[in-house]
Structure 1
Amino acid sequence: MPLVTTTEMFKKVYGKCAVGAFNVNNMEIIQGIVDAAKEENAPLILQVSAGARKYAKHIYLMKLVEAAVADTGLPIALHLDHGEDFEICKACVDGGFTSVMIDGSKLPFAENIALTKKVVEYAHAKGVVVEAELGRLAGVEDAINVSAKDSSYTDPQQAAEFVHQTGCDSLAVAIGTSHGAYKFKGEPKLDFPRLQEITALLPGFPLVLHGASTVLPEFVAKCNEYGGELKGAQGVPEELLHKAGTMGVCKINIDTDLRLAMTASVREHLAVNPADFDPRQYLKPAREAIKNMVKHKIKDVLNCSNQL
């Protein structure tokens, strides 16, 4: 089975659940994610940030994802996460990705529309789908660094105009999530009335949540136990993400929880086995930790098991 786009995935899950979009950086992360999706019989989006693409190289990631498809037979979409300009989107379209995100959220509204439309026209001619973003999430992750004062929620009326003018295939909206191991002030909340207004103006149109890691306490505790500095970190409560998946959100991005699961496992292994210098010995349990965490996300948070 070749790589697929997200089009049919989103049609199937709309209003019921969201597909997990998991960031990948190396072989063990990819293996852990796809093994979990295979066991849960779930559709899957593997996504690559500009930082991951620079770290692992485009061709290595392509071949690893192609191997995952051949090994599992899963319908997998390969997505560029937070493409910052036309050139990187073009490179990923030409290089075999089936989905790209153009992030013009930092631009004025009209400039965001113009840039997104340019990417859409190029990608659609090649059979590739496009995610865009309107509104800005606070937080830090890879090259994304937005202060709280510079963040902004998505305006529903602008969202409808943006989609109609650009022809994008999905839209990342800002309703209260945040990149990274965010420390909320008070109780974490999502603006569901705003989300409901957006879906009413764009019926049937797939929406996306970025910054949706829940920062699972067990991984934070384990990281801290073995030398981490994550005290006070918290993410989006799982029940809020579950609800969003029934309200037009078809794609939920998860990165920080992958990093925490892997790092916690590696820290623990090396603390318990300080003389161990074989990467296979600490990466094997790290891969298993990722697999178990992703299974939990698919089954209990995204509610996306058995959606193939």
Structure 2
Amino acid sequence: MPLVTTTEMFKKAYDGGYAVGAFNVNNMEIVQGITEAAGELNAPVILQVSKGARAYANHTYLVKMVEAAVIENPNIPIALHLDHGDSFEVCKSCIDGGFTSVMIDASSKPFEENIALTKKVVEYAHDHGVVVEAELGTLAGVEDEVVVEAGQESYTHPEEVEEFVSRTGCDSLAIAIGTSHGAYKFTPAQCTRNEDGVLVPPPLRFDVLEECIKRLPGFPIVLHGSSSVPQEFVKLVNTYGGAMPDAIGIPEEQLREAAKLAVCKINIDSDIRLAITASIRKHFAEHPDHFDPRQYLKPARQAVKDMVAHKIVNVLGCDGKA
């Protein structure tokens, strides 16, 4: 099976009440860990590449690694997606370079400028058989070169979504309902503490999501900034020399609830980084004599695989849906 677009994935996900995981990839071990988990669980998967990943690993290397994963996993649909493309030129480069899906993120621009740029990307992409994700509303947090200070984020205005989708022709829409980029999604001041002293983040704005669903029946919705920042990883990082105080993510049960609605794509990046870093820190502490990268990257790859498998089954609900 060659690389696919997300069109059929999202139709099945919408009708089936589950979401497809969109996992950011930066190197071979991440690609392998994600696709091995998806292959064993018979789950569709989206491998997404950010502008920062392309700068780090090189566009060609990333595309060829994903193509290798397709060969190794011929029975599951795999889409290659550009995450947070910030210009027509970046999107065009990925469309011309083998991606099957691109995101144009003009959410920081005024409404009319967002529409104009998104429409331009959509027209070029559709002419080349590629689908387009757009965004309305802005998420706080940091992801590669996407930086929005806390307090500067804005929820999606449901009254704008119909006009935006109609005028741009985009194929899916990322909305802002309270998720956030990075491993520090909320400050302690934004959270409450339970009886055990654990930080509890504010709930997602399901009212905004539900209103968008009413206005866009049958249309696939995307959630960015949806890593859960598992505390077992944070604890391992901190135990073995790291310093990640108060790192907190989105509760998995809220993401699962969103996946049962119209959310067809859930983006996960920070959890992959945490799984790898926790594994490597622990390995170095336990094996100070090791210097062969294969010795510590092999368990790191397994940590990614285990984490992705958990997400597929318990958060996304897309196991067996390939």
Distance 2:202 2:24 in 1: 23
Structure 2 counterpart of 1:204: 218
CA contact (8 A) 1:132 1:168 kept: yes
Greater alpha carbon shift after TM alignment, 248-257 vs 9-18: 9-18
Give the match's secondary structure for 2:10.
helix
Equivalences, count:
308
Structure 2 counterpart of 1:116: 118
Structure 2 counterpart of 1:228: 242
Amino acid corresponding to residue 4 of structure 2 in structure 1: V
Q: How does 1:99-114 map to 2 (within 5 A)?
A: 99-114=101-116
Structure 2 counterpart of 1:183: 186
The unaligned stretches of length 5 or more in structure 1 are none
Q: How does 1:1-308 map to 2 (within 5 A)?
A: 1-15=1-15, 16-73=17-74, 74-181=76-183, 182-184=185-187, 185-186=190-191, 187-308=201-322
Distance 1:13 1:207 in 2: 11
Distance 1:151 1:192 in 2: 17
Amino acid corresponding to residue 186 of structure 2 in structure 1: K
Greater alpha carbon shift after TM alignment, 6-15 vs 284-293: 6-15
The unaligned stretches of length 5 or more in structure 2 are 192-200
Distance 1:150 1:107 in 2: 13
Q: Scaled by the length of structure 2, what TM-score is found?
A: 0.95
Distance 1:25 1:135 in 2: 26
Distance 1:247 1:253 in 2: 16
**Residues 184-218 of structure 1, C-alpha deviations (whole Å, 9 max, x = no match):** 51233110011000000000000000000000010
CA contact (8 A) 1:188 1:235 kept: no
Q: Which runs of 4+ in 1 moved over 4 A?
A: none
Distance 2:274 2:142 in 1: 15
Distance 1:231 1:52 in 2: 26
**Residues 263-289 of structure 1, C-alpha deviations (whole Å, 9 max, x = no match):** 000111011111211000000000000
**Residues 76-127 of structure 1, C-alpha deviations (whole Å, 9 max, x = no match):** 0000000000000000000000000000001000000000000000000000
**Residues 4-55 of structure 1, C-alpha deviations (whole Å, 9 max, x = no match):** 0000000001050100000000000000000000111100000000000111
Give the match's secondary structure for 2:84.
strand
**Residues 223-258 of structure 1, C-alpha deviations (whole Å, 9 max, x = no match):** 011111112111000000000011100000000000
**Residues 147-182 of structure 1, C-alpha deviations (whole Å, 9 max, x = no match):** 122210000011111101100000000000000012
Greater alpha carbon shift after TM alignment, 210-219 vs 181-190: 181-190
Distance 1:141 1:68 in 2: 25
Report percent identity of matched pairs.
66
Distance 1:275 1:108 in 2: 55
C-alpha displacement of 1:183: 2.7
Distance 1:5 1:229 in 2: 39
Amino acid corresponding to residue 138 of structure 1 in structure 2: A
Greater alpha carbon shift after TM alignment, 246-255 vs 143-152: 143-152
Amino acid corresponding to residue 194 of structure 1 in structure 2: V
Q: Scaled by the length of structure 1, what TM-score is found?
A: 0.99
Amino acid corresponding to residue 209 of structure 2 in structure 1: L
Distance 1:215 1:33 in 2: 17
CA contact (8 A) 1:188 1:237 kept: no
